[in-house]
């Protein structure tokens, strides 16, 4: 984790929020490359959850919702974690994640674990509250959404009618969620502000269990398609005492993070709990009329709920390579590189003139201009070529294109270096786009 965190900081991928003020716990900023990585994760999700299907439509709902949404959904009552406080130093922890005196489960601020004495846990609500309007009186409270899902239930009838989808169908949303986590930790794994990619798939009651299985497999395939190794993934069913108040059955897709196997995504059978609760609280009819079966019912819901930040972290960790470069390829030098799936790599091609020599620059710029409309590229002419390769390796750029003196004086060709094999090939500039098109796997 330390190596990943340092790499992210060094290359401006992810760093502390408000760093010049000492940072804010549980808040991180995604720099230029991190923002591109996140965009790519979201695009990959939308591609397989929406674009390649005909039965899932997108929603982009407001973060602030009517306060009664959270009453109906049960969040005001149930969205809690057990909080325990150490009687001797007053530090607070999530009671279900720590074992008193066990240094591997928490950080004692005084580092003297023998003195810790955890008090009785009490339930702590994770909702962030704020107020709408110019006064802070009661009645003006609203909550920052802790999940994107509720908008899909509240807007269900409207979206179904206007999109003319028939059950089974889904509504998908990618957006920010907020949770006042007791102990944010493990870099971007547990933060207080994060992005979710959630899809509510509405099905006829009785078909829910089969659809649940379908989505578990679909989501597993998505993670492996974009490069996570199967041996680092597992499916873990929730025990009955772990199930959320709305769920009939939930499984987590877990990733072998360096700190422990931990949740990447939850896939829940939410039954008709949410539609039922909103129908009752709002007094609106949220049933669905199934014309083919001449039946009216409240659909059941299967929900694959993933986190953008956690997925990005898992992709980074899984792609991380720290190796000795093979002797034949330039000696015994250490090479740190990210073997990111091409579709996720923030930069697809780097254009590198061998030096800043004035003979090389115009051609190098011409090559950059040729590629820029096709792929996210980076043009870099600073420092030695070895250093620039190292930088591109560390940010996972699949191909580096080098413009040298032969290019301008002789063959109008460039050297293309493959990140994974480190092999180099000479390619004519007028063949370069086709060459890269054939090798870049951007739409798996
Ligand atoms: P955990 O048990 O780790 O607190 P959860 O079961 O509460 O997670 P869900 O409510 O199922 O999480 O949320 C769906 C997904 O949203 C999670 O699988 C995770 O990827 C992401 N997520 C939830 N909470 C956080 C957080 N605090 N920081 C980053 N991502 C989060």
Q: Is residue 173 domain-shared with residue 112, that is, in the same domain?
A: no
Q: Is residue 89 domain-shared with residue 232, that is, in the same domain?
A: no
Kindly compute the dihedral angle of the four CA atoms of residues 134, 138, 139, 143, in this order, to the nearest 10 degrees: 80
**19 annotated as ligand-binding:** no
Q: CB within 8 A of 41, min separation 6: which ones?
A: 308, 311, 312, 315, 344
Mean pLDDT of 361-376: 96
| Inside any domain, residue 400 | yes
Q: Is residue 389 domain-shared with residue 281, that is, in the same domain?
A: no
| Inside any domain, residue 372 | yes
Determine what percent of the chain is predicted with pLDDT higher than 70.
98
- What pTM value is reported for the model? 0.95
Q: Is residue 150 domain-shared with residue 120, that is, in the same domain?
A: no
| Spatial strand order in the sheet of 399-403 | 377-379, 349-353, 399-403, 413-418, 424-428
**347 annotated as ligand-binding:** no
| Inside any domain, residue 424 | yes
Q: Is residue 12 domain-shared with residue 32, that is, in the same domain?
A: yes
Pick the last residue of a domain from 315, 338, 357: 315
| Inside any domain, residue 239 | yes
Contact in structure between 379 and 365 (CB atoms under 8 Å): yes
Closest ligand 1 atom to 181 CA: 27
* Distances in whole angstroms, Cα of residue 331 to Cα of each of 245, 373, 420: 58, 36, 17
Q: Please, what sign has the CA dihedral across residues 200, 202, 206, 209?
A: negative
Kindly compute the dihedral angle of the four CA atoms of residues 432, 438, 440, 444, in this order, to the nearest 10 degrees: 160
Judge whether residue 68 has pLDDT over 90. Answer: yes
SS3 of 50-119: HHCCCCEEECCCCCECCHHHHHHHCHHHHCEEEEEEECCCCCEEEHHHCCCCCCCCCCCCCCCHHHCCEC
Query: Which residue would you say has higher pLDDT here, 326 or 366?
Result: 366
Q: What is the pLDDT of residue 326?
A: 64
Domain that holds residue 91: 83-125
* Distances in whole angstroms, Cα of residue 267 to Cα of each of 121, 306, 358: 28, 8, 57
Q: What is the pLDDT of residue 333?
A: 77
Q: Which of 27, 75, 194 to mutate to test the pocket of ligand 1 (most atoms within 8 A of CB)?
A: 194
Judge whether residue 231 has pLDDT over 90. Answer: yes
Is residue 194 in contact with ligand 1, taking CB distance under 6 Å? yes
Judge whether residue 330 has pLDDT over 60. Answer: no
Judge whether residue 120 has pLDDT over 90. Answer: yes
Judge whether residue 365 has pLDDT over 70. Answer: yes
Judge whether residue 395 has pLDDT over 70. Answer: yes
Closest ligand 1 atom to 263 CA: 18
Is residue 148 in contact with ligand 1, taking CB distance under 6 Å? no
Q: Is residue 152 domain-shared with residue 115, that is, in the same domain?
A: no
392: domain CATH number is 3.40.50.800
* Ligand 1 midpoint to CA 110 (Å): 29
Contact in structure between 397 and 440 (CB atoms under 8 Å): no
Question: Do the strands 320-324 and 334-338 form a parallel or antiparallel pair, or are they unpaired?
Answer: antiparallel
* Ligand 1 midpoint to CA 9 (Å): 24
Q: Is residue 42 domain-shared with residue 114, that is, in the same domain?
A: no
Q: What are the pLDDT digits (tens) for 259-278?
A: 999 999 999 999 999 999 99
Provide long-range contacts, Cβ within 8 A and 24+ apart, for 246-249: 246/73, 246/74, 246/270, 246/271, 246/273, 246/274, 247/271, 247/273, 248/208, 249/209, 249/212
Q: Is residue 237 domain-shared with residue 150, that is, in the same domain?
A: yes
**264 annotated as ligand-binding:** yes
Q: CB within 8 A of 280, min separation 6: which ones?
A: 72
* Ligand 1 midpoint to CA 307 (Å): 6
Contact in structure between 14 and 188 (CB atoms under 8 Å): yes
Least-confidence region, from 64-73, 102-111, 285-294, 430-439 = 102-111
Q: Is residue 74 domain-shared with residue 46, that is, in the same domain?
A: yes
pLDDT band at 279 (very low <50, low <70, confident <90, very high): very high
Mean pLDDT of 167-175: 98
Q: Is residue 352 domain-shared with residue 414, that is, in the same domain?
A: yes
Judge whether residue 345 has pLDDT over 70. Answer: yes
If 0-12 CB within 10 Å is exposed, 13-18 middle and 19+ buried, where does residue 351 land?
buried
Is residue 196 in contact with ligand 1, taking CB distance under 6 Å? yes
| Inside any domain, residue 322 | no
Judge whether residue 137 has pLDDT over 70. Answer: yes
Judge whether residue 88 has pLDDT over 80. Answer: yes
| Inside any domain, residue 320 | no
Q: Give the whole-angstrom CA distance, residue 353 versus residue 411.
A: 15
Contact in structure between 181 and 144 (CB atoms under 8 Å): no
Nearest residue to 299 via CA among 240, 211, 216 = 211
What's the chain's average pLDDT?
95
**339 annotated as ligand-binding:** no
Q: What are the pLDDT digits (tens) for 180-209?
A: 999 898 999 999 999 999 999 999 999 999
Q: What is the pLDDT of residue 186?
A: 93
Question: CB-side exposure of 67: number of CA atoms within 13 Å?
Answer: 12
Q: Is residue 15 domain-shared with residue 90, that is, in the same domain?
A: no
Is residue 306 in contact with ligand 1, taking CB distance under 6 Å? yes
Contact in structure between 171 and 159 (CB atoms under 8 Å): yes
| Inside any domain, residue 332 | no
Judge whether residue 328 has pLDDT over 80. Answer: no
| Overall number of domains in the chain | 3
Judge whether residue 112 has pLDDT over 80. Answer: yes
* Ligand 1 midpoint to CA 336 (Å): 30
Least-confidence region, from 40-49, 146-155, 382-391 = 382-391
Mean pLDDT of 113-142: 90
End-to-end CA distance of the chain: 28
Closest ligand 1 atom to 192 CA: 27
Q: What is the pLDDT of residue 140?
A: 86
Contact in structure between 235 and 252 (CB atoms under 8 Å): yes
If you take atom 26 of ligand 1, which residue's CA is the nearest one? 190
Pick the last residue of a domain from 264, 293, 315: 315
Q: What is the pLDDT of residue 138?
A: 74
pLDDT band at 133 (very low <50, low <70, confident <90, very high): confident
* Ligand 1 midpoint to CA 365 (Å): 44
| Inside any domain, residue 330 | no
Pick the last residue of a domain from 99, 125, 151: 125
Q: What are the pLDDT digits (tens) for 418-428?
A: 999 999 999 99
**194 annotated as ligand-binding:** yes
Q: Give the whole-angstrom CA distance, residue 215 versus residue 238.
A: 16
Q: What is the pLDDT of residue 104?
A: 86
165: domain CATH number is 3.30.930.10
Q: What is the pLDDT of residue 329?
A: 57
Is residue 309 in contact with ligand 1, taking CB distance under 6 Å? yes
If you take atom 13 of ligand 1, which residue's CA is the nearest one? 305
Contact in structure between 426 and 441 (CB atoms under 8 Å): no
If you take atom 2 of ligand 1, which residue's CA is the nearest one? 263
* Ligand 1 midpoint to CA 232 (Å): 18
Strand partners, 382: none
Closest ligand 1 atom to 198 CA: 14
SS3 222: helix
Q: What is the pLDDT of residue 327?
A: 56
Is residue 193 in contact with ligand 1, taking CB distance under 6 Å? no
Number of helices (H), then strands (E), in the chain: 13, 23
Is residue 75 in contact with ligand 1, taking CB distance under 6 Å? no
Judge whether residue 312 has pLDDT over 90. Answer: yes
**69 annotated as ligand-binding:** no
Q: Is residue 38 domain-shared with residue 160, that is, in the same domain?
A: yes
Contact in structure between 270 and 156 (CB atoms under 8 Å): no
Is residue 307 in contact with ligand 1, taking CB distance under 6 Å? yes
Q: Please, what sign has the CA dihedral across residues 28, 29, 34, 40?
A: positive
């Amino acid at each position: 984790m330390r190596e990943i965190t340092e790499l992210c900081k060094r290359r401006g991928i992810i760093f502390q929020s408000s760093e010049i003020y000492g940072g804010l716990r549980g808040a991180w900023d995604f720099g230029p490359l991190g923002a591109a990585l996140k965009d790519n994760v979201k695009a990959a999700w939308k591609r397989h959850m929406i674009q390649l299907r005909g039965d899932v439509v997108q929603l982009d709902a407001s973060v602030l919702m009517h306060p009664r949404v959270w009453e109906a959904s049960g969040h005001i009552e149930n969205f809690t974690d057990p909080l325990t406080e150490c009687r001797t130093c007053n530090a607070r922890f999530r009671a279900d994640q720590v074992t008193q005196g066990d240094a591997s489960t928490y950080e004692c601020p005084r580092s003297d674990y023998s003195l810790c004495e955890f008090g009785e846990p009490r339930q702590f609500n994770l909702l962030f509250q704020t107020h709408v309007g110019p006064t802070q009186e009661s009645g003006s409270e609203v909550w920052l959404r802790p999940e994107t899902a509720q908008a899909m239930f509240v807007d269900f009838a409207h979206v179904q009618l206007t999109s003319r989808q028939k059950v089974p169908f889904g509504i998908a949303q990618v957006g920010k969620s907020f949770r006042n986590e007791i102990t944010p930790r493990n870099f971007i794994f547990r933060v207080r502000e994060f992005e979710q990619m959630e899809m509510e798939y509405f099905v006829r009651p009785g078909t829910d269990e089969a659809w649940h299985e379908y989505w578990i497999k679909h989501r597993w395939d998505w993670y492996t398609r974009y490069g996570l190794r199967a041996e680092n993934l597992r499916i873990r069913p929730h025990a009955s005492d772990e199930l959320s108040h709305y769920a009939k059955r939930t499984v987590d897709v877990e990733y072998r993070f360096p700190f422990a196997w931990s949740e990447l995504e939850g896939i829940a059978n939410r039954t008709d709990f949410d539609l039922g609760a909103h129908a009752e609280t709002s007094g609106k009819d949220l049933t669905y009329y199934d014309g083919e079966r001449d039946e009216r019912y409240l659909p059941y819901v299967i929900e694959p709920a993933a986190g953008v930040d956690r997925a990005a972290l898992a992709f980074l960790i899984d792609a991380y390579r720290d190796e000795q470069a093979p002797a034949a390829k330039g000696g015994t030098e250490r090479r740190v590189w990210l073997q990111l799936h091409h579709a996720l790599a923030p930069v697809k091609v780097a254009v590198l003139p061998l030096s800043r020599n004035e003979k090389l620059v115009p051609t190098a710029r011409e090559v950059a201009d040729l590629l820029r409309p096709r792929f996210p590229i980076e043009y870099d002419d600073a420092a030695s070529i070895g250093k620039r390769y190292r930088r591109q390796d560390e940010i996972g750029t699949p191909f580096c294109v080098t413009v040298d003196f032969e290019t301008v004086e002789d063959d109008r060709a460039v050297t293309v270096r493959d990140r994974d094999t480190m092999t180099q090939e000479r390619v004519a500039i007028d063949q370069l786009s086709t060459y890269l098109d054939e090798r870049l796997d951007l739409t798996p």
